[in-house]
Amino acid sequence: MNIVIVVKLVPDLVEELTIDTSGIALDTAWLRLIINEFDDHAIEQGILLKERGGGSVTVVAPDIEGVDDVLFTAAAKGADRLIKIKGDFAGVNNHALARAFTVVVKELQPDLVLTGVQANNDLDGSVGPLLAGCLEMPYIGYISGVSLGEGKSRVHKEYPGGLIAEMDVTLPAVLGIQAAEQPPRYVAVSKVRQMMKTSTIEERTASGLDMAGGPTVSRMFQTEAGQRATMLTGSPDEVATKLVGIFKELGVL
């Protein structure tokens, strides 16, 4: 089973996000880029599938700051091949990224492509279904369980309220992972460092990044707090007393 996982790096929401002077993009000065949480789940799911049924796992990522650590960590978890795509990815949208991935994925001829169902900086759709469109493979998103059979896969697709649809999809296919079957495993720093010495990251070059299909942003701004809540201050005792008062007003006490 040849599994390919495509990942991207997104802004870390722990940091404060500001808009740069152009007014249409995020200020990158203090921006930390980390692996898209859902792509991390995709890696975990891919490794689980390999552990269960054998095969190989290849992880592909664009060459931006922090990508080496992401790839070596994937190797430490059990990924067999690491590929980074060189190119100027600053400000590049998902359509361009998907097209860049398409070239590499076609070369790898996978049975299954996994990626996170969404990312926090998606503005023109998500990489998964875009990639599926480019590769002309079927796509199912919001996946929380995958099992593989001959030429097809049975997946669990999540709907609201905890409802799950069991679907079958012919392979090769692209799946958008919502949650891996177990939380992403911990990898010791020494293991990652060991991978840095023993594994190699293959490189490919993106021949031009075609952003066609994405919108043009005319203004980007921080969300207004909107109608702010009435803030209660004071010691725990005082706040608790105020809350009891509110509960009484609302009729719950």
Partner 1 sequence: MMTYNVIKSILVLLALLVAGGIFLWRVYQLLWANLRLGQRSGPFKQWGERIKGVVVYVAGQFRLFRVLIPGTGHFFIFWGFLILSLTILQAIIEGLVSFANPHFLLPLIGSFGLLALLQDLFAVLVIVAVIYALVVRLIVNPKRYLGSHKSQGVMVLMFIFTIMLSLLVMNGVRINLGQDPLHVWRPISTAVGRIFSGAAAGTQEVIKEIAYWTHLGVVLTFLTELPEGKHFHVVTSVPAVLLRNLEPHGRLPAATDLNGQVGVSTVEQFRWRQMLDFYTCTECGRCQDVCPAYASGLPLSPKLLMMELRDNLKERGAALRAHASNSTTQATQARTLVGDVISESVLWACTTCFACDQECPLFIEHISPIVDMRRFLVIEGRVGTELQDALANLGRYGNSFGQSERMRARWTQPIQPPIKDARREPVEYLWFVGDYASYSPTLTDVTVKTAEVFRKAGLDFGILYDAERNAGNDVRRVGEEGLFEMLVEKNSMALSKCKYQTIVTTDPHTYNTLKNEYPANGDERRPVLHYAELLDQLITTGKLKFSKKLGYKVTYHDPCYLGRYNGVYDAPRRVIEATGCELIEMPRHKDDSFCCGAGGGRIWMAEGEIQERPSESRIREAVKLGKATIFVVACPKDVSMFRDAVKTTGNESRLEVKDLIELVHAAL
Partner 2 sequence: MNQDIYVVIEHLRGQVTEISFVMLAGARELAKGLGGNVVAVLLGHNAQGLTGNPSAGSGQYLAADKVLSLDHPALADFTSDAYQKVLAALIAKDQPRAVLFGSTSIGTDLASTLSIKLGLPMVSSCRSFSADGKFVSQLCGGKIMAEGDLPGPTALITMVPGGYKAEQGQSTQSPTVTQVEVPTLETLRVTLAGYIEPESGDVDIAKEPLLVSVGRGIQNKDNIVLAEELAQALGGTVSGSRPVIDQGWLATSRLVGKSGKSVKPKVYLALGISGAPEHVEGITNSDTIIAINTDPAAPIFGVAKYGSEIDLFDLIEVLTGKVKQSKGG
Query: C-beta of 146: minimal distance to partner 2 in Å?
Result: 13
Of the candidates 189, 225, 229, 252, which one interacts with partner 1 according to CB under 8 A?
Answer: 189
Q: Which is nearer to partner 1, 30 or 247 (CB)?
A: 30
Q: Computed over its alpha carbons, how large is the radius of gyration of the chain?
A: 21
CA–CA distance, 179 with 145 (Å, rounded to integer):
8
Restricting to residues 64-103, name those near partner 2 by CB under 8 A. 94-95, 98
107 binds partner 2 (CB under 8 A): no
Contact 44, 169 (CB under 8 A): no
Q: Which does 14 bind (CB under 5 to 8 A by kind): partner 1, partner 2, none?
A: partner 1
Of the candidates 68, 69, 158, 181, which one interacts with partner 2 according to CB under 8 A?
Answer: 158
DSSP state for residue 123 in the 8-state scheme: S
From the list 56-64, 103-111, 125-133, 196-204, the region that binds partner 2 by CB under 8 A is 125-133
CA–CA distance, 92 with 100 (Å, rounded to integer):
11
190 binds partner 2 (CB under 8 A): no
Of the candidates 1, 17, 108, 196, which one interacts with partner 2 according to CB under 8 A?
Answer: 17
Query: C-beta of 191: minimal distance to partner 1 in Å?
Result: 6
For residue 18, give both structure tokens.
Answer: 């500001």
Contact 38, 118 (CB under 8 A): yes
The candidate with the shortest Cα–Cα distance to 152, out of 131, 134, 173, is 173
